[in-house]
Amino acid sequence: MLQGWRRQQSARFLKESTVAPRLRLIRRLVEFTGSYPWQWNPADGEAFIDHLRNGEQPRSVSTARGYEVAIDMFTDFLLDSRYGWAAVCEERFGQTPQQIFHEGNSIAHRVDYEGDPRRRALTFDEVQALFDAADARPQQIAARGVKGALSAARDSAVLKMIYAFGLRRTETTRLELPDLRRNPKAPQFRDFGVTMVRYGKSSKGAPPKRRSVLLVPEMDWIVDTLDHWLTDLRPRFAPGKHPALWVTERVGRLSPRSVNEAFVAVREVAGLDQCLDVHSLRHSYVSHLLEFGYPARFLQEQVGHSHAATTAIYTHVSPEYRNKLLESALRGKLGADWDVTA
């Protein structure tokens, strides 16, 4: 059954990183219940989710729903007459598979965003504190007489690029030298006016999404950062002909995990909230560009979202920005002589 389900998903060109966890989940459910899929009933599903919710490491609502959806897909596969598993189970065991989750015992999807509410965008001051800490790390490491100063300088540039272009960590690590391009409409940004993202987050079964991210004037400071990386720092890694923009000491491609570790190290030095992660920089990019006055459609294209609602989830504008909008609206309604202190 599992091999057939794996082949069905592989035929849809789903990634192994999607398929493998689903197969492990079904095996976990078999182990938890001590029974086979054609023996499962709704009570088994409820007991499994209850166990996950109240165990040593309670699962979030979105994770538990994902488990329910995956189990439903597996039972859908078993019940599909084109594969014949229901008939085989009836003939051999006198039982047929059934859906164990239904409207009465599955998690209702009531809101668009169910992620950790602590995840948020950084304020402008927090971004500055993060980058100040990142810039200070190479010298601090060198002063201790240990290795890692050059890598810390690279990590500082990586984190700055993620924020300046609103990139995902995987997108950033997959960038190559030709992906940095000149924007003819903005020659002042030199060879860094456009970043070509060729490995954007893909939809299920689809190839990676491509997009071009334009550098905006408010982020023009990244030009000097990238120029310093390419002309001074990167050559010191002796990358040879390696095409990756971000390379390691062993002349390999920087990994997303390394980006995570770099962010955590800098976050600790800066004394920032532990709920902040690398993806918070992408949230910050969207929120800050909105405050700079860029339209929502432009932001959606920049970050590569298929739906505007997804971009809206990333938006965390400051109270000051909202007050400015309110003041502007009141002046438009009450006249230019309206006194904000009245």
* Alpha-carbon distance values, 217 to 159, 164, 189, 242, 250 (Å): 18, 10, 9, 31, 35
Of 154, 162, 171, 86, residue with least CA distance to 121? 162
Question: Is residue 33 in a domain?
Answer: yes
Catalytic sites, residue numbers: 168, 201, 279, 282, 305, 314
Q: Is the pLDDT of residue 55 over 80?
A: yes
The CATH code of the domain that includes 158 is: 1.10.443.10
The model's confidence at residue 56, banded by pLDDT at 50, 70 and 90, is confident
19 and 133 part of one domain: no
Task: Average the pLDDT over each of 50-54, 163-167, 330-334 and give the range with the smallest value.
Answer: 330-334
Reported confidence tier of residue 60, pLDDT bands at 50, 70, 90: confident
Please report whether residue 336 resides in a domain: no
Q: Which of 74, 93, 112 is the last residue of a domain?
A: 93
Question: Greater confidence, 324 or 119?
Answer: 119
Q: Is residue 118 part of a domain?
A: no
Q: How confident is the model at residue 317 (pLDDT cuts 50, 70, 90)?
A: low
- Dist CA 253 CA 244 (whole Å): 6
Q: Classify residue 342: in a domain, yes or no.
A: no
* Nearest Cα to Cα of residue 231 among 272, 191, 264: 191
Residues 82 and 128 in one domain: no
The tally of domains found in the chain comes to 2
pLDDT 10s digits, 168-180 = 999 999 999 999 9
Q: Which of 52, 71, 93 is the last residue of a domain?
A: 93
Domain co-membership, 226 together with 316: yes
Contact indicator for 209, 300 with CB cutoff of 8 Å: no
pLDDT of 296 over the 70 cut: yes
Residue 73 is assigned to a structural domain of this protein: yes
Q: Are residues 198 and 316 in the same domain?
A: yes
Judge whether residue 269 has pLDDT over 60: yes
What is the average pLDDT value for the chain, to the nearest integer?
90
What pLDDT score does 328 carry?
A: 63
In this prediction, residue 119 carries a pLDDT of: 76
Q: How confident is the model at residue 107 (pLDDT cuts 50, 70, 90)?
A: confident
For residues 88 and 154, state if they share a domain.
no
Alpha helical stretches, state H, the chain: 2-11, 16-33, 42-54, 61-79, 85-93, 124-143, 149-165, 169-173, 222-228, 256-270, 278-292, 296-303, 308-313, 319-334
* 164 and 34 in a common domain: no
Q: What is the pLDDT of residue 324?
A: 63
User: What is the residue type of 316?
Assistant: H
Q: Band of the pLDDT at 111, cuts 50, 70, 90?
A: low
> Percent of the chain beyond pLDDT 90?
76
Q: What local confidence, expressed as pLDDT, does residue 110 receive?
A: 54
Q: Of 294, 284, 288, whose CA–CA distance to 321 is shortest?
A: 288
What pTM, to 2 d.p., does this model score?
0.74
Residue 298 placed within a domain:
yes
- What is the mean pLDDT of the segment spanning 62-69? 91
pLDDT score, position 61: 86
| Rg of the chain in Å (alpha carbons) | 25
Instruction: Mark whether 81 and 130 lie in a shared domain.
Output: no
For residues 105-131, give the mean pLDDT. 79
192 in any annotated domain: yes
Region 113-128 average pLDDT: 80
Which DSSP string corresponds to 246-302? SB-TTS-BPPHHHHHHHHHHHHHHHT--TT--HHHHHHHHHHHHHHHT--HHHHHHH
* Final residue before a domain boundary, out of 46, 72, 93: 93
pLDDT of amino acid 108: 77
Looking at the structure, tell me whether residues 148 and 257 fall in a common domain: yes
pLDDT of residue 315: 64
Q: Is there a single domain that holds both residue 179 and residue 313? A: yes
Q: How many CA atoms lie within 13 A of 97 on its CB side?
A: 24
Taking the C-alpha atoms of residue 41 and residue 117, their distance in angstroms, rounded to an integer, is 34
Domain that includes residue 63, residue range: 2-93
Note whether residue 111 is domain-resident: no
Backbone angles phi, psi at 211, to 5 degrees: -160, 160
Pair 154, 250 in one domain: yes
Q: State whether 19 and 153 are in the same domain.
A: no
80 pLDDT more than 70? yes
Distance CA 171, CA 285 (A): 15
Whether 222 and 307 map to the same domain: the answer is: yes
